[in-house]
């Protein structure tokens, strides 16, 4: 059995190196490294895989560089709608929320749904009432807003289209016209358990009420100690249609494929067949990590305990 490990992602898409300065690229890489090392330290101190992915995704939600929580994109009504899910590979317990507008850290509420309710999935006002009942932080909707995201909304509306994450040239390292904005984490702990967590602010100028794959167990998030833990980032509709996260696990369990072989089949064969673009992060029951994507880039990183972090944006 390998060391405990955590992997994270912050979205996938096309590369736009000409629009990034060294300082801006440093900001993204530094954020990824800081977050993945925090998750690794959690595991080193005896934290569970669930604890590590919750911590990492909370930190991603709090960082306005990424499209989840603070810095979430705008809907076509100029509002924010956030989604999240989490799954425990040791029990197959899971929790999810969608369409929330006041929950500061959706991933924490998703975990509370898993641990403190008899249900799996709450939406909208019911999810927010549940968060309030369990003393989870609530905020005013403008907490999530940033000027950059608002400008992206105006550009998308001017073009009359829905954009993956956002649709305007910015100084971010991924081409923001083709970037899929989701964050996620997967982990393998010292107890041999796996966990996955995924969170998103959705798509710029999306129709209010649209839900993608991020909160859907089996599409954007899945974990099973028999096989692997997976978190997805990409065009949500295609990931739902392909049941991406569960499909990787099923290929391992029923077809006997390795983690890499299963991921490759889904990301490089099955998704492209329906014009699906994006990537996943995955870790198997031996602690092997694999981070494939069929787009030109993906914000990503991983770290085994007591080892340096690996972070990248572009293809190796």
| Structural domains of the chain ordered from first start | 5-314 (3.60.20.30)
Q: Rounded to 5 degrees, what angle do the CA atoms 106, 49, 134 make?
A: 35
What's the pLDDT tens digit per position in 248-271? Answer: 999 999 999 999 999 999 999 999
CB atoms within 10 A of CB 222: 33
pLDDT attached to residue 178: 56
pLDDT at residue 21, as a whole number: 74
Average pLDDT, the chain: 92
Distance CA 125, CA 150 (A): 24
Residues contributing to the annotated binding site for substrate:
210-213, 233-236
Judged by average pLDDT, the poorest of 75-79, 99-103, 110-114 is: 75-79
pLDDT reported for residue 25? 86
Report CA-CA distances (Å) from 214 to 3, 202, 221. Answer: 28, 9, 7
236 within 8 A of 213, measured Cβ to Cβ: yes
Other residues' Cβ atoms within 10 Å of the Cβ of residue 312:
15
| Cβ count within 10 A of residue 62 | 15
pLDDT at 166: 32
Mean per-residue pLDDT, 4-27: 81
pLDDT at 22: 82
How would DSSP label each residue in 169-238? --SSSB-TTS-B--EEEEEE-TTS-EEEEEEE---BTBPTT---STTSBTTTEEE-TTSEEEEEEE-HHH
Selecting among 155, 182, 198, 200, the annotated active-site residue is: 182
Answer yes or no: is pLDDT of 12 > 90: no
Q: How many CB atoms lie within 10 A of CB 74?
A: 28
One-character DSSP codes across 284-299: ETT--EE--BSSSEEE
Give the length of the chain. 316
Instruction: Pick 295 or 311 by higher pLDDT.
Output: 311
Distance CA 86, CA 184 (A): 9
The stretch 147-161 carries a mean pLDDT of 83
The confidence score (pLDDT) of residue 171 equals: 47
- pLDDT at res. 23: 84
User: What's the gap between Cα 120 and its chain centre?
Assistant: 18
Q: What percent of the chain has pLDDT over 70?
A: 91
**Contact indicator for 278, 300 with CB cutoff of 8 Å:** no
At residue 43, the pLDDT reads 98
Distance separating alpha carbons of residues 221 and 236, to the nearest angstrom: 12
pLDDT surpassing 80 at residue 179: no
Residue 169 has pLDDT above 50, yes or no: no
Write down the H helix ranges in the chain: 22-44, 49-62, 106-116, 124-133, 147-159, 236-242, 244-255, 259-265
Position 161 scores a pLDDT of 67
What b/e readout covers 113-123, taking b as 16+ CB neighbours within 10 angstroms?
Answer: bbeeeeeebbb
Whether pLDDT at 221 is above 80: yes
Task: Decide if 198 is catalytic.
Answer: no
Annotated binding site: 210-213, 233-236
Mean pLDDT of 112-121: 98
Q: Is the pLDDT of residue 167 over 50?
A: no
């Amino acid at each position: 059995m390998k060391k405990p490990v955590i992997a994270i992602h912050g979205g996938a898409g096309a590369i736009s190196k000409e629009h990034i300065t060294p300082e801006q690229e440093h900001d993204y890489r530094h954020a990824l490294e800081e977050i993945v090392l925090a998750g690794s330290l959690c595991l080193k101190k005896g934290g569970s895989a669930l604890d590590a992915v919750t911590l990492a995704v909370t930190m991603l939600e709090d960082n306005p560089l990424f499209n989840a929580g603070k810095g979430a994109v705008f809907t076509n009504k100029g509002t924010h709608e956030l989604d999240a899910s989490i799954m425990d590979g040791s029990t197959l317990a899971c929790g999810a929320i969608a369409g929330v507008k006041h929950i500061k850290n959706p991933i924490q509420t998703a975990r509370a749904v898993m641990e403190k309710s008899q249900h799996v999935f709450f939406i909208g006002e019911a999810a927010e009432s549940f968060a309030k009942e369990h003393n989870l932080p609530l905020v005013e909707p403008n907490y999530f807003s940033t000027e950059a995201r608002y400008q992206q909304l105006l550009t998308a509306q001017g073009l009359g289209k829905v954009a993956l994450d956002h649709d305007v040239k910015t100084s971010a390292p991924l081409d923001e016209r083709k970037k899929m904005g989701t964050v996620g984490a997967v982990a393998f702990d010292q107890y041999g358990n796996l966990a996955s967590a995924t969170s998103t602010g959705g798509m710029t100028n999306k129709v209010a009420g649209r839900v993608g794959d991020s909160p859907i167990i089996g599409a954007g998030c899945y974990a099973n100690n028999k096989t692997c833990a997976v978190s997805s980032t990409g065009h949500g509709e295609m990931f739902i249609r392909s049941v991406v996260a569960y499909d990787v696990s099923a290929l391992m369990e029923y077809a006997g494929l390795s983690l890499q072989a299963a991921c490759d089949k889904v990301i490089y064969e099955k998704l492209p067949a329906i014009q699906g673009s994006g990537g996943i992060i995955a870790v198997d029951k031996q602690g092997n990590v694999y981070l494939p994507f069929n787009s030109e880039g993906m914000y990503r990183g991983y770290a085994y305990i007591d080892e340096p972090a690996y972070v990248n944006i572009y293809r190796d």
